[in-house]
Structure 1
Amino acid sequence: MADDTEHAAPDFRLPDPAIVSRTMADVAERGQRIVNDFLKRQAEHPGAVAEAPIDPFNIGSAFFEMTTRLMRDPQRLVQAQLGFWQDYMTLWQNTTRRILGDAITPVIAEDAKDKRFKDEAWRESEVFDFIRQSYLLSARFFRNVVDDKEGLDPRTAQKIDFYTRQFVDAMSPTNFLLTNPEVLRRTVETGGENLLKGLSNLLADLERGRGQLRIRMTDDTKFALGDNIAVTPGQVVFQNDLMQLIQYTPTTETVLKRPLMILPPWINKFYILDLRPKNSFIRWAVAQGHTVFVCSWVNPDERHAEKDFSSYMREGPYAALDAIEKATGEREVNAVGYCLGGTLLAATLAQMAAKKDTRIKSATFFTTMLDFEESGELGVFIDEEQLQALEEKMGSRGYLDGREMATTFNMLRANDLIWSFVVNNYLLGQEPFPFDLLYWNDDSTRMPAKMHSFYLRRMYQQNDLVKPGGIELNGVKIDLRRIKLPTYMLSTREDHIAPWASTYRATQLFKGPMRFVLAASGHIAGVVNPPESGKYSHWVGKDLPEKADTWLQGATELAGSWWPDWQRWIAAQAPETVPARQPGAGGLPALEPAPGSYVKVMASD
């Protein structure tokens, strides 16, 4: 007689009634508060909903055009459907044979980098293996159908591909309770308390977003600027309407004579380069003997609506150069620009070249777009209809809300930055893990209306920056081809914001000596990669052929961080040293300790 324990029902416990009661009472109270807040805002702005575009991303017209073209050649669609059903029948047959004990090779497997199906139940259970493969086959079918882009405008084709992927990612079985084995297992183990906790987390995120879902990616209570993040010692020595200039305290007895000026992007906050001591580029650069100055940009509001790109140039690098000279007595500097900060640096250098201003002696660019012809997936959000809607929204309040921009960037990596947290926070009912990079990612910034419109239209949409005289800043028509100083350009191989093949195009623009380096990983991790981590290789090459792929074929891959390579390069530009300079001891007094007050202003303030 078989042991009855072999067929015993799973150990399922009911949730504690007291917990259920408290949770539901809390849900009712908080839910009512969210609804009341929403209704109050609608009363204050009664036209907001009516004026909102039905299709804000202009998706409908793109898919309508694709469908029209598909219908002109239905044979292709029929062939795709036949292939899908043949694969599906094979999956049914394989699943049946597997249940009968046969060893079966999967019909389809996920990408090795896909973390969604890491739970062993996706392979060990016949049911979940079938669900997984069924989803992967369906996803491939959708992608194959929209892959036929013949006759479509490239931007329309890109938009169709992007939003098809968004739909496919959203429909993953990992995102639903009944088709995620890990969630089902947790529900059984906790008696459903994970779902109650998840509901509470969902309400908390709705409260954070004032009625809009703002997913919490990390435990932000574990971080405080100047306490355990952005802690490299220094002082604010200058400030204006757009930035505070931070000078960092030296840790060496002597420093390079030429100070280092860093222009971070104002799409995000500067402390991506100063997260923790172990991964702080700023701290590391100070330890290499640089007198480091960083522009900490203001988090703009309606008062900054008229600040344009020229304003950021005048009140950013130009103001910083004047302040650095007062603080150190040095006119010549080395400059670093990161992402949009690099775009500003290049525009400034071209303007300085026209005026014969030679104070910047070398330039370093981190993941910087200058030629926007192939701007990657961000181009999906930049067409005339979307720009007009965005400009109307910015015009009413004077800025672009940082949370809206954060959503755009998160959509570029939806599985990692959206759906993984939906599963963790709402289905598994877990608190997000404390992670400095995600804390920074969630600390969004606003963008002044006039500047942002100029940036999107003149650079992303019209690609005027690479056209000689295509852009005029402060009355000066600029030409990037007039930049002749030594340049170090760093790109990252898996960059979804500034595709490396597009950033490489700058090698054909500048006329001075250039070193191009490609780091492994993406827009952030590839840059913030200290030597001690032992992570991510990088590629170097002497020649700069026209095509990026040709460069990579001839490049040499080196293990580890690119930081030491950059240090050797920049130190060779001007190796003379002087006694270390203390913030506030020169011609500018110390105003407040780093990281300063501008960086502490939140988008929600």
Structure 2
Amino acid sequence: MADQQGSDLKLLDPTVLGRTMTELADRGQAVVGALLANQAAHPGASMTDPLGLGSAFYEMSARLAADPLGLARANLDLWQNTMSLWQNATLQVLGAEVKPLVEPEKGDRRFKDEAWTEHTVFDFIKQAYLLSARWMQTVVHNVDGLDPHTAEKVDFFTRQMIDALAPSNFLLTNPEALRETLESGGENLVRGMENLLHDLERGKGQLRISMTDESAFTVGENVAGTPGKVVFKNALLELIQYTPTTETVHRRPLLIVPPWINKYYILDLRPKNSFVKWAVDQGHTVFMISWVNPDASLRDKGFEDYMLEGPLAALDAIREITGEPDANIIGYCLGGTLTGCLLAWLTRRGEAHRLASATHFTTMLDFTEPGELGVFIDEPTLQYLEGQMNKNGYLDGSEMAGTFNLLRSNDLIWSFVINNYLLGKDPFPFDLLYWNADNTRMPAAMHSFYLRKMYLENILREPGGITLAGEPIDLRLVQTPAYFVSCREDHIAPWRTTYFGTHLYQGPVRFVLAASGHIAGVVNPPVANKYGFWTNTALPPKPEAWLEAAERHDGSWWTDWNAWVQAYAGDPVAPRVPQGEVDAPGTYVTVRV
């Protein structure tokens, strides 16, 4: 039996292996050279602690040492659980059925392989890790005397460390990776090394993990492919008007203001999940802002410029193109925050009539509880970021992408480490992850204003807290009918925080809560019939009270929004065919970092 099993194992050709390893060694040497050159060009950069983690964990340790009994209780609990785990493992070896001491949370895909449950050794490793993780989090949570921000920072980065140490991330404790190594004779590890070097080469010495097969997508072909024309352009945007598909269209045009933290085509990936195409098919004359991917020449463009040269300039162009004096508007995430500012600005100037309705996708107007992104926002961190931005003129897109990936590190970091490097597999072509990797930069002046005034100081919610283009912004003056849609599992714009925005406006407001997260909850076409959403016409002060009385619906919130916006869409008119020399998606969106 042993001989038979041994004969099934695959062995690599030593000649091929030697040649491959030589090639990898040469590439590795070049990567190391690039890394050293980068460090020489930025001396001291790797020695900084911009997030202040050292001081945060030092303070936590000091507080922990002041309560030795609390730590002793936690250690005793861990020791008792470990002894119980050893006892259970012994019983399992003897053939007894034993109930697990601890199990992964529902949806934890790190332990989906059957061996984690069926094999005694791997079951022991899994439970030992989960018990240790629980112990570590309990110790951190129970430290008294930390200020809230320091406590959040310690908690967040403790979870990052716990996720990094998961047994699934290491070859010798990952049953799937071990099985693949035995079956392929180690080919997976060679391929994994090739993938690792490829990602290091892409990052010029820094690891830039491939999340999808980027060669499988081309902007304007199989993503961002809805037909249209660029009908207006300035230094910050290209305005796209989409080709109508219905015999008549609603009189009022629809302007979409996407975030410039990412590119607009999250709302126009493929025809089957494109909000743009769906809205066009519902009879809306859709205009989309495609933001420029800024370089150092735009370093002085501020938040005010993004309002004036962004949606306000777009509204001017739309009025000239369509002849309509007003429009409906949608703002997504940061684009929704800008939309709120525009509403207040127009109201101050007596021009609120230019917008018949406003829709906010996952938008924060009150940043009281900004979620885990708040961990990265404090005075020392902002000073560090501003120093970096002042040097370059912008915040590099890779830095922002890294921050967002940390919010879901198991899904957006470690799952790809396992797939690409341990299993030696190429990442699967996925349009959403292609978009996620298509990074954008942030101009220095704009991003500093946004982080300070919105996140750090949270003064957008205060009457006159900020001033834009000579007008003090007061959201409480806005009477434009508004539709808010938020997502229940949103890590970037927590729904309980976005809900606070409904009490800032004075006009009629409808709040809808979609299932899933910041992206999947928004990009949820009716044909997919996924997730569902909640509605409640009442708007009690506390979001929990709203949800408790809300009614759940199956399917997509898109249909609910379309029914709501009909009251502001206007009578049917003849379709408006876009006129322009440049086809959608234009040129700004194709600039890659």
Global fold match (TM > 0.5):
yes
For 2:251 and 2:529, the matched residues in 1 are separated by: 30
In the alignment, is residue 511 of structure 1 matched against residue 501 of structure 2? no
In the alignment, is residue 455 of structure 1 matched against residue 450 of structure 2? yes
Q: Which amino acid aligns with 2:571?
A: E
Which of 521, 524, 527 is the matching residue for 1:526?
521
For 1:363 and 1:220, the matched residues in 2 are separated by: 35
Q: Deviations over 1:289-341 (max 9, x none)?
A: 00000000000010010000000001001100110011111111000000000
The answer to whether the Cα contact below 8 Å between 1:531 and 1:561 also exists between their aligned partners in 2 is yes
The answer to whether the Cα contact below 8 Å between 1:11 and 1:188 also exists between their aligned partners in 2 is no
Q: Report the CA distance between 1:9 and its aligned residue.
A: 4.7
Q: Which amino acid aligns with 1:515?
A: R
The answer to whether the Cα contact below 8 Å between 1:335 and 1:364 also exists between their aligned partners in 2 is yes
For 1:102 and 1:326, the matched residues in 2 are separated by: 78
Q: Which amino acid aligns with 1:499?
A: P
In the alignment, is residue 600 of structure 1 matched against residue 570 of structure 2? no
SS of the residue aligned with 1:211?
coil
Which of 234, 248, 251 is the matching residue for 2:245?
251
SS of the residue aligned with 1:134?
helix
| Structure 1 residue aligned with 2:573 | 578
| Structure 1 residue aligned with 2:402 | 407
Q: Which amino acid aligns with 1:138?
A: S
Which of 10, 15, 20 is the matching residue for 1:13?
10
In the alignment, is residue 129 of structure 1 matched against residue 126 of structure 2? no
Q: Which amino acid aligns with 1:148?
A: N
The answer to whether the Cα contact below 8 Å between 2:396 and 2:440 also exists between their aligned partners in 1 is yes
Q: Report the CA distance between 1:573 and its aligned residue.
A: 2.1
Q: Report the CA distance between 1:173 and its aligned residue.
A: 0.2
For 1:462 and 1:23, the matched residues in 2 are separated by: 55
| Structure 2 residue aligned with 1:239 | 233
Q: Deviations over 1:214-252 (max 9, x none)?
A: 000000111001111111000000000000000000000
For 1:353 and 1:575, the matched residues in 2 are separated by: 22
| Structure 2 residue aligned with 1:196 | 190
Q: Report the CA distance between 1:26 and its aligned residue.
A: 1.7
CA distance 1:250–1:535, change in 2 (3 Å): same
For 1:434 and 1:550, the matched residues in 2 are separated by: 41
For 2:565 and 2:439, the matched residues in 1 are separated by: 32
Q: Which amino acid aligns with 1:26?
A: E
Q: Map 1:12-411 onto structure 2 (within 5 A).
A: 12-43=9-40, 45=41, 48-357=42-351, 358-411=353-406
Q: Which amino acid aligns with 1:372?
A: F
Q: Deviations over 1:510-541 (max 9, x none)?
A: 00001100000000000000000011110000
Q: Report the CA distance between 1:7 and its aligned residue.
A: 9.0
| Structure 1 residue aligned with 2:437 | 442
Q: Report the CA distance between 1:5 and its aligned residue.
A: 5.8
* Unaligned runs of at least 5 residues, structure 2: none
For 1:556 and 1:593, the matched residues in 2 are separated by: 43
For 2:16 and 2:475, the matched residues in 1 are separated by: 64
The answer to whether the Cα contact below 8 Å between 2:490 and 2:517 also exists between their aligned partners in 1 is yes
Q: Report the CA distance between 1:57 and its aligned residue.
A: 1.7
Identity of aligned pairs, percent? 59
Q: Report the CA distance between 1:20 and its aligned residue.
A: 1.1
The answer to whether the Cα contact below 8 Å between 1:238 and 1:591 also exists between their aligned partners in 2 is no
Q: Which amino acid aligns with 1:167?
A: M
The range that moved more, 409-418 or 571-580, is: 571-580
Q: Deviations over 1:449-472 (max 9, x none)?
A: 010000001110000100110101
Q: Report the CA distance between 1:104 and its aligned residue.
A: 0.4
For 1:317 and 1:37, the matched residues in 2 are separated by: 42
For 2:47 and 2:261, the matched residues in 1 are separated by: 25
The answer to whether the Cα contact below 8 Å between 2:64 and 2:143 also exists between their aligned partners in 1 is no
Name the count of aligned residue pairs: 592
For 1:362 and 1:67, the matched residues in 2 are separated by: 52
SS of the residue aligned with 2:310?
helix
SS of the residue aligned with 1:116?
helix
TM-align CA RMSD: 1.2
For 1:298 and 1:329, the matched residues in 2 are separated by: 26
In the alignment, is residue 553 of structure 1 matched against residue 556 of structure 2? no
The answer to whether the Cα contact below 8 Å between 1:483 and 1:512 also exists between their aligned partners in 2 is yes
SS of the residue aligned with 1:455?
helix
CA distance 1:398–1:103, change in 2 (3 Å): same
For 2:150 and 2:75, the matched residues in 1 are separated by: 23
Q: Report the CA distance between 1:152 and its aligned residue.
A: 1.6
For 1:8 and 1:193, the matched residues in 2 are separated by: 18
For 2:245 and 2:568, the matched residues in 1 are separated by: 21
For 1:331 and 1:411, the matched residues in 2 are separated by: 44
* Unaligned runs of at least 5 residues, structure 1: 585-589
For 2:186 and 2:540, the matched residues in 1 are separated by: 60
- Stretches of 4+ aligned residues off by more than 6 angstroms: none
The answer to whether the Cα contact below 8 Å between 2:39 and 2:45 also exists between their aligned partners in 1 is no
Q: Report the CA distance between 1:484 and its aligned residue.
A: 0.5
CA distance 1:466–1:10, change in 2 (3 Å): farther
CA distance 1:8–1:528, change in 2 (3 Å): closer
The range that moved more, 24-33 or 123-132, is: 24-33
Q: Report the CA distance between 1:72 and its aligned residue.
A: 1.5
Q: Report the CA distance between 1:80 and its aligned residue.
A: 0.6
Q: Report the CA distance between 1:37 and its aligned residue.
A: 2.7
SS of the residue aligned with 1:237?
strand
For 1:119 and 1:33, the matched residues in 2 are separated by: 37
The answer to whether the Cα contact below 8 Å between 1:296 and 1:599 also exists between their aligned partners in 2 is yes
